[in-house]
Amino acid sequence: MPALLATVAMVAARIGEPITEPDDVLLAESVIAEASEQVKLYAQQPEWTLTTAHPRAVTIVVAAAARGFLNPTGYDMERGDMVTFNRSEAYSSGADLTRSEKAECRLLGRQGNVKTVGLANSDTPIPRSRRCAEDRGYAPVDWGGNKPFPLGYF
């Protein structure tokens, strides 16, 4: 089983009721697994565990898992005798992450990642003997002796 970024007790605390029935525990574990994998995917951190993940990532997993637990089938409207409940789009998508949660996960994933920086023409360094000013990164200034700026560089 993949490393989960939340526990059933965290989801139970979020929804405000205990999760003790075996079917409910299985449902909670499955929505936690779904939300955990999505957070790891969007953050590009497949090695995160509950202890190594950013605390905000754990909060996002708990919130998404609670939404998925409360509405696993994705209903967007419920109707009773005299009452009709319309659910928001976030609650009708199960344990899927919202747009803002996905954006936060991407930002969290950027922290601590190794990134590559592209170099222009990195295989051929510019020789120091070259006299062209634009290759050295400074602007030529005519100070009478036609020395490049800054003075006394050579």
pLDDT of residue 135: 47
pLDDT of residue 154: 47
Would residue 132 count as lying in a domain?
A: no
Domain that holds residue 38: 8-110
The sign of the dihedral angle between the CA atoms of 89, 94, 96, 97 is positive
Closest-CA residue to 40 (of 69, 91, 6) = 6
Q: How many CB atoms lie within 10 A of CB 52?
A: 11
Would residue 150 count as lying in a domain?
A: no
User: Model confidence over 51-108: pLDDT tens digits?
Assistant: 988 899 999 999 999 988 887 766 667 677 777 767 666 565 677 888 888 888 888 8
Report how many domains make up the chain: 1
Write the burial class of residue 74 (CB in 10 Å: 0-12 exposed, 13-18 middle, 19+ buried).
middle
Would residue 57 count as lying in a domain?
A: yes
Chain mean pLDDT for the chain: 77
Would residue 89 count as lying in a domain?
A: yes
Percentage of residues of the chain with pLDDT beyond 90: 31
Would residue 134 count as lying in a domain?
A: no
Would residue 42 count as lying in a domain?
A: yes
Would residue 99 count as lying in a domain?
A: yes
Read off the pTM.
Answer: 0.64
